Structure 1
């Protein structure tokens, strides 16, 4: 299955089965108003009074109650077991932006799998929102409007090199790799931070309070 299940000109809030709050959901829906669930994320949306426009996944964890409440035509079974429900959903959503909730906080293996999916599906502009931070796959060029002192962590999921402006510790000349040099706990020295990367594979991790800055930067990236 390659054709998108969800096609939207608006942003999509994608809910997973991990924990997130009503406040998190309100934050995301205000910016990405189309609600979609990955498998048991449907139960969490319904708990907060939100009916998903689509449910995508292998349907091994959605409750019988949610199945009964959501119209059958909105339930999309994807049988293969080689990928996670986050990956299945993300690759089958065509939208300018996806804000993902409930994928980063419950289990380490699920969180790592979600980070891997961000890189594998980097053509989908997706921001993973966690309890304190947010993460997204860096495009080849990114310009962020931040505040001085904001944490800016760069975590390579593959070998990556590049250049930066506005960071306390510039990245030029550094060969990043997941088993070598990483870039956690860098900081913004200026209100404008620019990253230019020579390839894909870098995660950008920012505080949640910079969600709007991350959205603006991703949507403007080439």
Structure 2
């Protein structure tokens, strides 16, 4: 059994070593003030002027400067190689929600591994924030207010069906599958979009400009 090393009653910003910008990290920290770095994300945090509350990972990407700059009590070394640093963090953080920055838009294999982990942990509320997109696993009905014409992309990582209201191309009656039908580049045709899936496995991608609307729809209140 894995026990949490970080337990907070508010959100956690989880910073990876992939693509991120100062604005993205600042935006996430405004919403989720506890900062946890996944391995090499520690140096990115320091470069942006943020001291991580914890660093979790196998430390194969950890910069020696970060080891020196961060006090030893904040490091949580997990040497096993059966999971990614993202999942090592995910299983050791106890928080109502996580905002993941630096996990989208870099190496494709790393990004796919993160998305796989998100779907395999449907009990966790995780929002990924990238340069162009924000992503969430649809584990419960979602009602979100979006400007008409907003891109709404659905990508399945398992076979799943569902229903929608407010999309240009309704999804009812479609069987989605990772090796079959996807739902990329749909769009909002009304100011409110309602999506309900019949099971786990569907990822929702929205433009990064829709982050605030997504957080509100997920019941994550602004601090």
Is TM (by shorter chain) over 0.5? yes
Aligned position for 1:37? 37
- Number of equivalenced pairs: 220
Kept in 2, the 8 Å contact 1:91–1:124? The answer is no
Residue 116 (1) aligns with residue 116 (2): yes
Kept in 2, the 8 Å contact 1:96–1:219? The answer is no
Q: CA RMSD in A?
A: 1.2
Distance in 1 between residues matched to 2:155 and 2:19, nearest whole Å = 24
Distance in 1 between residues matched to 2:90 and 2:217, nearest whole Å = 20
Give structure 1 stretches of 5+ with no counterpart.
none
Distance in 2 between residues matched to 1:198 and 1:132, nearest whole Å = 28
Give structure 2 stretches of 5+ with no counterpart.
none
- CA offsets per residue over residues 136-157 of structure 1, 9 Å max, x none? 1112311111111111000000
Secondary structure of residue in 2 paired with 1:30: helix
- CA offsets per residue over residues 131-185 of structure 1, 9 Å max, x none? 1011111123111111111110000000000111111111111000011110000
Aligned position for 2:52? 52
Aligned position for 2:106? 106
Aligned position for 1:219? 219
Shift of 1:218: 2.0
Distance in 2 between residues matched to 1:59 and 1:122, nearest whole Å = 26
More moved, 101-110 vs 178-187 = 101-110
Distance in 1 between residues matched to 2:190 and 2:131, nearest whole Å = 26
Distance in 1 between residues matched to 2:118 and 2:216, nearest whole Å = 18
Matched ranges for 1:1-222 at <5 A: 2-219=2-219
Name the TM-score, length of structure 1 as normaliser: 0.96
Shift of 1:217: 1.7
Name the TM-score, length of structure 2 as normaliser: 0.95
Distance in 2 between residues matched to 1:210 and 1:118, nearest whole Å = 20
Ranges of 4+ aligned residues in structure 1 off by more than 4 Å: none
Secondary structure of residue in 1 paired with 2:185: strand
